[in-house]
Structure 1
Amino acid sequence: MEEKLLVTMEKGAHCSSWNYSGQRMAVGSTDGTLSIYDSDDPTSTSFSCTSQWKAHVGVICKIVWVPPEYGDGIACISGDGTLSVWEEVEEGTQPLTWKLCKLFEFQEIQALDLQFGNYLMGLKLVVAFADGHVKIYELQDPLELKRWQLQAEFQNVMDFLARSGKPSCVSASIAWNPQKPQSQRAAFVLGFNSDLPQFNSSKIWEFDETHQRWQPVAELALPGDEGDQVHALAWAPNIGRPYEVVAVATCKGIAIWHVGLNADVDGRLSLKKVALLSGHDGEVWQLDWDMSGMTLATVGSDRMVRLWQSNLNGVWDEQASIESN
């Protein structure tokens, strides 16, 4: 297969995020600069930088695009301890420009990961922090990306009464349930890489409409795996399966979990670990499902991209591998 260069990033690029709906890319740099790359024309497969501005003082660590229903916007985490939301707007006769909508300042606590979730009750933003806390914000006005309100704050533990200590977290990974907004309640899965075992294992959090609170409904770990540090995770799209599929990467490999759709009398979802994928030499950095939720792409410190699928008997195998440059 012939390779073709799409984007040439400037020196200092640290992270990036692809906008699948708009065919755009946002790039964050070590000096706090944000850059937007767009295709030169609708029929072109090459991209060039169309906007660039100084967004933060410190390095930009993470970028996530706002769901397209809410316009052209991005949120990013900086090493200076802040999180910002930006929107592309047109003002009068001036060309399109990016403006700051909201700046979240978290004092000395570093944000590690963030993800947007779009549900019937509106847009939500979940942020995981280096002290093991989780904050969930909700957008108050769908037409204004500046109006966010804190909805909930909690720690990533199953038993609130048994929690103890303050963890030091190196990284966190969040994935919302990618179901359509009208088909299911808001839910996301979260895991940490920390020095306290009870915070690490991936847990599914679901919003209880009756009591208006977030509650843990599943812990994706067997008894011997509960303290394993989580490096990455991904929730697969569901095209008709009677269960959800979630992939979790730890030091033991990439676990594939089947999660039941309906909770039991105790409010917990049924779980089954169906596979443990091993192939990467070193830590797995990122997991991504295709749009059908049938193929899992993984990339790690061995600079290899691997593609995984299960056969009709439910057996998972590596289908292809690509060495990155």
Structure 2
Amino acid sequence: MFVARSIAADHKDLIHDVSYDFHGRRMATCSSDQSVKVWDKSDNGEWNCTASWKTHSGSVWRVTWAHPEFGQVLASCSFDRTAAVWEEIVGESNDKQRGLSHWIKRTTLVDSRTSVTDVKFAPKHMGLMLTTCSADGVVRIYEAPDVMNLSQWSLQHEISCKLRCSCISWSPSSSRAHAPMIAVGSDDSNSSYSGKVHIYEYIENTRKYAKAEHLMTVTDPVHDIAFAPNLGRSFHVLAIATKDLRIFKLIPMRREVTAGSSGPTKLQVQIVAQFDNHNSQVWRVSWNISSTLLASSGDDGCVRLWKANYMDNWKCTAILRGDGSPVAGSSSQAAVPSTAGGPQHAPLQASSAGRKKAQLMPG
């Protein structure tokens, strides 16, 4: 049974994103009020705002945490055409109170000519790398060559997607059998372009990213996209939030490796599940850490939890309203693994309608 907890976030405008750190003990929110807030979970389960600052000169669309191996580091992106990297600096050693820590801006990335719509850190095993996508259809990948100096970032790759970009997700696989891979979604409303999801793979020979696949069946605007944690699988699982919820399986095909071969891996694309239960636009998708549970939120004001059985058949196991209460008649009492392990782990309610309160499940 999930326990809901409402937080008076005190943002002065729509909240666009909620992001948990690796351990699920810290949370960041961002809003059209141009600010980011950081929240810490106390021992009694209460969430307390420990930092709040104006980050951009436009709406802040997304906020994301780096792996704690690199310190307490946040990245944000905005309508003001920039992305920014923030680091928490703790006070002197004689400062007993954690509240004396403060966040400082380490860098501003200004390469985009249009709104920066998403920002994500690459998987930890790739080092400290940051990816942005923007409305000009370009994905940019930056690297901090010295993790002790976060004011220095170099632009490593620019991928032109030819379509307005809305969201990105890294494949988390650390297997040597899988090259680095990134999925890009587009919310371009031009229906003449089929295939609103593109998959890019890093090619070692050319040291560039090349398009491995595009999902022709996704023709509606894409609002969110998320690779499932890999956990040793030989294939990838990708969740997509569009006018409905879709789950795809991407299976790398074996290929003859010839001298000078530099093409991306061919992927066999299978749609595993498609649900229109929200009866409206789906705005966010989020996996738990073991990839056994998927959460989606939509304009119906509900968070829905999805689980696959041993036959790989997906079904809805719980429906929660924005305030966390179960929907009458739903199978919300079904056995659902605890997601208290943290983050990516907790369903998040964020829609175009916005909320001035952050809605969290579970507590």
TM-score tier (shorter)? 0.7 to 0.9
Cα distance in 2 between the residues matched to 1:119 and 1:4: 31
Aligned with 2:207 (options 204, 207, 212): 212
> In 2, are the aligned partners of 1:286 and 1:298 still within 8 Å (CA)?
yes
Give the gaps of 5 or more residues in structure 1.
Answer: 158-166
Aligned residue number for residue 85 of structure 1? 85
Aligned length: 308
Instruction: Confirm or deny: 8 A CA contact 1:156 1:199 kept in the other structure.
Output: no
C-alpha contact 1:36 1:52 (8 A) present in aligned 2: yes
Distance 1:305 1:4 in 2: 12
For structure 1, which segment, 229-238 or 3-12, has the greater mean C-alpha deviation from structure 2 after superposition? 3-12
Deviates more, 1:293-302 or 1:30-39: 30-39
Contact map agreement 2:121 2:130 (CA 8 A) in 1: yes
Change (3 A) 1:126 1:263: farther
Which secondary structure state, in structure 2, belongs to the residue aligned with residue 57 of structure 1? coil
Larger RCO, structure (CA 8 Å, separation 6 or more): 2
- The amino acid across from 1:279 in the alignment is N
Stretch of structure 1 that moved more, 196-205 or 61-70: 196-205
Q: Look up the match of 2:240.
A: 248
| Offset at residue 78 of structure 1 (A) | 2.3
Q: Return the offset for 1:310.
A: 2.0
Q: Is the 8 A contact 1:17 1:64 kept in 2?
A: yes
Residues 29-44 of structure 1 correspond to what in structure 2 (within 5 A)? 29-40=31-42, 43-44=43-44
Q: 2:12 aligns to what?
A: 12
Distance 1:173 1:199, change over 3 A: farther
Output the CA distance in 1 between the equivalents of 2:177 and 2:46: 37
- 1:188, distance to aligned residue in structure 2 (A): 1.2
Is the 1:36–1:51 Cα contact (8 Å) retained in structure 2?
yes
Contact 1:114-1:126 at 8 Å conserved across structures: yes
SS at match of 2:7: coil
Partner letter of residue 251 of structure 2?
Answer: G
Q: Are residue 309 (structure 1) and residue 303 (structure 2) matched?
A: no
Cα deviation for residue 102 of structure 1 reads 0.5
Alpha carbons of structure 1 residues 2 and 120: separation in structure 2 relative to 1, 3 Å: closer
Q: Which residue of 2 aligns with 1:156?
A: 161
Moved more, 175-184 or 304-313: 175-184
Preserved contact between residue 243 and residue 260 of structure 1 (Cα < 8 Å): yes
The answer for the alignment partner of 2:228 in structure 1 is: 236
Q: Is the Cα contact below 8 Å between 1:277 and 1:316 reproduced in 2?
A: no
CA distance in 2, matches of 1:29, 1:297: 22
Q: TM-score, normalised by structure 2?
A: 0.77
CA displacement at 1:56 relative to structure 2: 2.2
Identify if the C-alpha distance between structure 1 residues 104 and 181 changes in structure 2 by more than 3 Å, giving closer, same or farther.
farther
Aligned to 1:189: 183
Q: Give the corresponding residue for 1:260.
A: 251
The percent identity for this pair of structures is 29
Q: Please identify which structure carries the higher strand content.
A: 1
Residue number among 272, 275, 283 corresponding to 1:274 in the alignment: 272
Matched, 1:147 2:152: yes
Deviations 1:116-146 (A, max 9, x none): 1035442221111112111111121122222
Q: Which amino acid aligns with 1:232?
A: D
Q: Provide the rounded CA distance (Å) in 1 between the counterparts of 2:127 and 2:175.
A: 9
2:75 match = 75
CA distance in 2, matches of 1:101, 1:81: 17
**In the TM superposition, what whole-angstrom CA distance separates every residue of 1:259-289 from its partner, at most 9, and x where no partner exists?**
1145535631222122212211110000111
Q: Root-mean-square deviation (CA), in Å?
A: 2.4
Q: For residues 119 and 216 of structure 1, do their structure 2 counterparts lie closer, same or farther at Cα, with a shift above 3 Å needed? A: farther
Unmatched segments (≥5 aa) in structure 2: 257-262, 324-363
Paired position in structure 2 for 1:55: 55
Asked if structure 2 preserves the Cα contact closer than 8 Å seen for 1:63 and 1:76, the reply is yes
2:250 alignment partner AA: V
Superposed CA deviations along residues 238-278 of structure 1, whole A, max 9, x for unmatched, are 23433211112333x22221111455356312221222122
Contact 2:286 2:294 in 1 (8 A): yes
Taking structure 1 as the reference length, the TM-score comes to 0.85
